[in-house]
Amino acid sequence: MRSRFQQGLDELRQKLLRMGGLAEQAVDRACQAYLDRDLSRCQMVLEGETQINVSEREIDELAFDLLAMQQPMAVDLRFILAVTKINADLERVGDQAVNIAERVMDMVSLPAVDLPVDISRMAAAVSAMVRRALESFIEAKAELAQAVLEMDNVVDRMRDEAFIVLVKTMNEKPETTRQALDALLVARNLERVADHATNIAEDVIFWVRGADVRHNVPQEASGQEEPAQRAATETH
Amino acid sequence: MGVGIQVENLNAWYGKTQALHEINLNVQANHATALIGPSGCGKSTFIRCLNRMHETSPEARVEGKVRIGEYDAYEGTSATRLRRRIGMVFQKPNPFPTMSIYDNVAAGLKLNGYRDKKHLDEVVEKSLISSALWEEVKDSIHKKSGASLSGGQQQRLCIARALAVEPEVLLMDEPCSALDPISTGKIEELIFELKAQYTIVIVTHNMQQAARVAEFTGFFLLGRMIEFDKTEKIFTNPSDKRTEDYITGRFG
Amino acid sequence: MPDSTQPVTPKREIGLWRRITDQLATTFAVSTVIIVLTPLVAIFTYLVIKGIGSVNWAFLTQTPKPPGEIGGGMANAIAGSVLILGIGSLLGVPLGIGAGIYLAEFGRNRFGDLVRFVSDVLNGVPSIVIGIVAYALVVLRQRHFSALAGGVALAIMMIPTITRTTEEMLLLVPNVLREAAYGLGVPRWRTTMSITLRTATSGIITGVMLAFARVAGETAPLLFTAFGNQYWNWHLDQPTAALPLQIFTYAISPYDDWHRQAWAGALVLIILIVSAVAAVRFVVRRGTLGGVA
């Protein structure tokens, strides 16, 4: 096969995986910082943001080059398009991690308060979603991506519950309003991360099956099994 | 107006070698259909079976049914009569070098006995306009020979020549492979416009061209038709692995 | 500093050797050309020197005087040559071109190979033998010498050259042109006549001219066919004078005046042949359209 093109595809894949790792790490760090009230971890998240932004630009540039110079078709074209979209989502995930870190920094400056909301459970779920979405990309397996889509509802419910609980808390104990608000915002940020993970999963399905499953409207899928699977194994 | 083409169980041989195996295909009227595939896959042989040019090769044999519109291409009509209803444009522009531009365009009519000068004048002008060549040559159609034009112009001249006999189908065998990008672009635009009046079948090595020009695409491999579908489907999400391997360049 | 954009020059010893070889080769090529051209130039010069004095109006318009008398000309021989060549061309050119068309378009088989073989053999037959054949075929039948017999002999000699050249020129016509015509629904015979033949015209005419130039100066075949004539003759079935014959007769005669006239005749013959070929070339070139080779 056109070896320079194949090399370009491999490089794109590697870069995206690295960026995925960075984004996943940022979310995990931010959540851990919230749970441990750890300022140093917040600092690491903020500093890691630059790397993620640089990565986003590099990936877009490489994808653009490949599109312009190599006239990719079918599965290769879908792959590159999916990569550019996943790229954007990962950068957003990084942004959300920074938002969480900023909330944590505010929280730590205030006295600790016991809130009846289980952020750690939500954080675990969201983290799992991100990890699984990235796995589905590495393995080029649409079933893994499908599982991520299903988890989104769970996370949405968690956010809604947190909302109700925290509003009640703010009404009953107005002195904890600021901490509750911080927690609420963190919950919202986590839910946003889950949304981005869902997007990533949808993009993987698009790449692997040629089916556009966004907004819950499945279009014609390919008649054959997992063309991207073969492409992925070839890149190994 | 163009007509549809139905091909059933077409097999073709050059002597002992079988070049086409059980081809089944429906070409839609007034649409452009592209045939792609690697060298030697039989796509040129296929379109030459449509206008019975395959027969001009030594030891050529054909089995199967080809229907052009209402009538059968092989039974009940002579090859020459069939070819007057099907125009063909070849890979390398081949205007008749000893004839003027006018005579080239009129060749199909003149050589078949039409003599009415006024009618010929009209047809020549109309054909040259249809092939987007009229403006460039209208002052010298009697003076300049067909071979004195540039490559892109020559090919348009050949298209005009094919159109002059008012065919229903236009077959094009890699019409742009000998031309520069600008001429290629002009001819692709032309094909787009001609679709309204003719049924066009175009063989091309250039997949991007097939994607730009044709509504339907067929992928040939080793004398068989592997896949035939709407062009967008073939190029964004083909059903057959071999098709995908070919269009993504993983082939060979 | 060595300039990376300039080609690297070889070391001096190799350079010298190569230059010497180059010079030798060029000199060899040029000298062979000179050697080849010398006889041609010599012939022409000699002819001009010996003959130009005798080419005058009388020579070109009068018939020969009886042997021994001074004066007279070869007018009848010139006219006779034209007549005999005319007959020969009329017979030989259509047959030759027809055979060439057959071989090119339909002759890719055993029979075609046979025809080609026969044509090549015929090409090699000595002209005197052809004269004898024509004698047997025509003169004996008619019981007299004739311009027709001379024409037949010359035609037989022209045919192989014309056939081969026509075939080659037709084969040179790219097949895509034939295909273009077939694609337009033009039947095969029409394609051959109107497209293939027309494209090859210039080359075929060259072949015809080659054949013509060759037979125009032939003497042997005319010896027992046209036979020669002291007087004017326009009848096809009577012995006719011809330039080469006349030159031959005069040259072997004991008369000086006839020797003089023989030189003049030879010069006139050469000039006529060259003019005919040049004229046809000119007409063909004028007739073709702008931009056509």
Which of A3 and A87 is assigned the larger pLDDT? A87
Which of A19 and C75 is assigned the larger pLDDT? A19
Which of A60 and B40 is assigned the larger pLDDT? A60
CB contact, 8 Å: A5 with chain B?
yes
Residue A31 has a pLDDT of 93
CB contact, 8 Å: A75 with chain B?
yes
**Residues of C numbered 226-255 whose beta carbons fall under 8 angstroms of chain B's beta carbons: which are they?**
none
pLDDT grade for A112, boundaries at 50, 70 and 90 = confident
Average pLDDT over residues A164-180: 91
Average pLDDT over residues B91-100: 92
Residue A200 in tokens = 């990533």
Average pLDDT over residues C73-98: 92
Beta strands in chain C (DSSP E): none
Total number of domains constituting chain B: 2
What is the domain-level CATH number for residue A229? Answer: 1.20.58.220
Q: How many helices (H) and strands (E) does chain B have?
A: 10, 10
CB contact, 8 Å: B53 with chain C?
yes
**Cα A134–chain centre separation:** 8
Residue A24: is its pLDDT beyond 70? yes
Residue B46: is its pLDDT beyond 90? yes
DSSP B100: B
List chain C residues with CB under 8 Å of B51. Answer: 183
Q: How far is C174 from chain B (nearest CA, A)?
A: 9
Residue C45: is its pLDDT beyond 70? yes
Task: Check whether residue B217 and residue B233 sit in a common domain.
Answer: yes
CB contact, 8 Å: B248 with chain A?
yes
Q: What is the pTM of this model?
A: 0.77
Residue A224 has a pLDDT of 45
Q: Report the chain C residue with the minimal C-alpha distance to residue B58.
A: C108
Measured distance CA(A207)–CA(C266) in Å, rounded: 91
- Does A74 contact B208 at a Cβ distance shorter than 8 Å? no
CA distances from residue B145 to A191, B161, C113, C158 in whole angstroms, order as listed: 75, 14, 36, 33
List chain C residues with CB under 8 Å of B158. Answer: 180
Task: Check whether residue B127 and residue B143 sit in a common domain.
Answer: yes
Beta strands in C198-287 (DSSP E): none
Measured distance CA(C289)–CA(B103) in Å, rounded: 12
Average pLDDT over residues C16-27: 92
Q: What pLDDT, in 10s, does the model give residues B161-184?
A: 999 999 999 999 999 988 888 889
Above 0.95 for ipTM, yes or no? no
- Does C180 contact B81 at a Cβ distance shorter than 8 Å? no
**Structural contact between residues B112 and C191, judged by C-beta atoms closer than 8 angstroms:** no
Select the residue of B236, B239, B250 nearest A77 (Cβ to Cβ): B236
Residue A62 has a pLDDT of 95
Task: Check whether residue B179 and residue B80 sit in a common domain.
Answer: yes
Q: Report the chain A residue with the minimal C-alpha distance to residue B251.
A: A1
Chain C interface mutation, best of B49, B98, B166, B172, highest count of C Cβ atoms under 10 Å: B98
Residue C287: is its pLDDT beyond 70? no
Q: What pLDDT, in 10s, does the model give residues C125-158?
A: 999 999 999 999 998 988 889 899 999 999 999 9
CB contact, 8 Å: A78 with chain B?
yes
Select the residue of B51, B96, B161 nearest C195 (Cβ to Cβ): B96
CB contact, 8 Å: A1 with chain B?
yes
Residue B153's domain comprises 93-166
CA distances from residue C205 to A183, A201, C202 in whole angstroms, order as listed: 101, 77, 5
- Does C293 contact B161 at a Cβ distance shorter than 8 Å? no
Residue C292 has a pLDDT of 39
A75-79: Cβ within 8 A, 24+ apart? A75/A207, A75/A210, A75/A227, A75/A228, A75/A231, A75/B237, A75/B244, A75/B248, A76/A5, A76/A9, A76/A231, A76/B248, A77/B236, A78/A206, A78/A207, A78/A210, A78/A228, A78/B236, A78/B237, A79/A9, A79/A207, A79/A228, A79/A231
- Does A74 contact B207 at a Cβ distance shorter than 8 Å? no
Total number of domains constituting chain A: 1
Q: How far is C27 from chain B (nearest CA, A)?
A: 40
A150 Cβ contact partners less than 8 Å away, ≥ 6 residues apart: none
Task: Check whether residue B77 and residue B99 sit in a common domain.
Answer: no
Residue C104 has a pLDDT of 92
Task: Check whether residue B188 and residue B155 sit in a common domain.
Answer: no
CB contact, 8 Å: B237 with chain A?
yes
Q: How far is B239 from chain C (nearest CA, A)?
A: 35
Residue A22 has a pLDDT of 95
Percent of chain B, pLDDT > 90?
62
List chain B residues with CB under 8 Å of A75. Answer: 237, 244, 248
CA distances from residue B94 to B98, B99, C83, C174, C276 in whole angstroms, order as listed: 12, 12, 43, 9, 34
**Structural contact between residues A222 and A211, judged by C-beta atoms closer than 8 angstroms:** yes
What is the domain-level CATH number for residue B231? Answer: 3.40.50.300
Last residue of a domain, one of B118, B148, B166: B166
Q: Looking at domain C74-243, which of 1.10.3720.10, 3.40.50.1000, 2.30.180.10, 3.90.320.10 is its CATH number?
A: 1.10.3720.10
Last residue of a domain, one of B146, B166, B186: B166
pLDDT grade for A187, boundaries at 50, 70 and 90 = very high
Task: Check whether residue B117 and residue B5 sit in a common domain.
Answer: no
Query: How many other C-beta atoms are found inside a 10 Å radius of the C-beta of residue B100?
Result: 22
List chain C residues with CB under 8 Å of B96. Answer: 177, 180-181, 195, 198-199
Task: Check whether residue B123 and residue B138 sit in a common domain.
Answer: yes
Instruction: Report helix, strand or coil for C234.
Output: coil
Average pLDDT over residues B41-54: 92
CB contact, 8 Å: C185 with chain B?
yes
Residue recorded with tokens 């966004």: A214
Percent of chain B, pLDDT > 70?
100
Residue recorded with tokens 């942004």: A95
Weakest mean pLDDT among A114-123, B127-136, C67-76, C82-91: C67-76
- Does B92 contact C186 at a Cβ distance shorter than 8 Å? no
Amino acid occupying residue C267: L
Residue A63's domain comprises 3-235
CB contact, 8 Å: B230 with chain A?
no
pLDDT grade for A105, boundaries at 50, 70 and 90 = very high
CB contact, 8 Å: A3 with chain B?
no
Residue C293 has a pLDDT of 36
Residue ranges of domains in chain C:
74-243
Task: Check whether residue B4 and residue B74 sit in a common domain.
Answer: yes
Residue C291 has a pLDDT of 35
Q: What pLDDT, in 10s, does the model give residues A197-227?
A: 999 999 999 999 887 777 765 554 444 445 5
Task: Check whether residue B75 and residue B137 sit in a common domain.
Answer: no
CB contact, 8 Å: A71 with chain B?
yes
Residue C57 has a pLDDT of 83
Which of A236 and C207 is assigned the larger pLDDT? C207
- Does B241 contact A223 at a Cβ distance shorter than 8 Å? no
CB contact, 8 Å: B162 with chain C?
yes
Residue A33 has a pLDDT of 93
CB contact, 8 Å: C183 with chain B?
yes
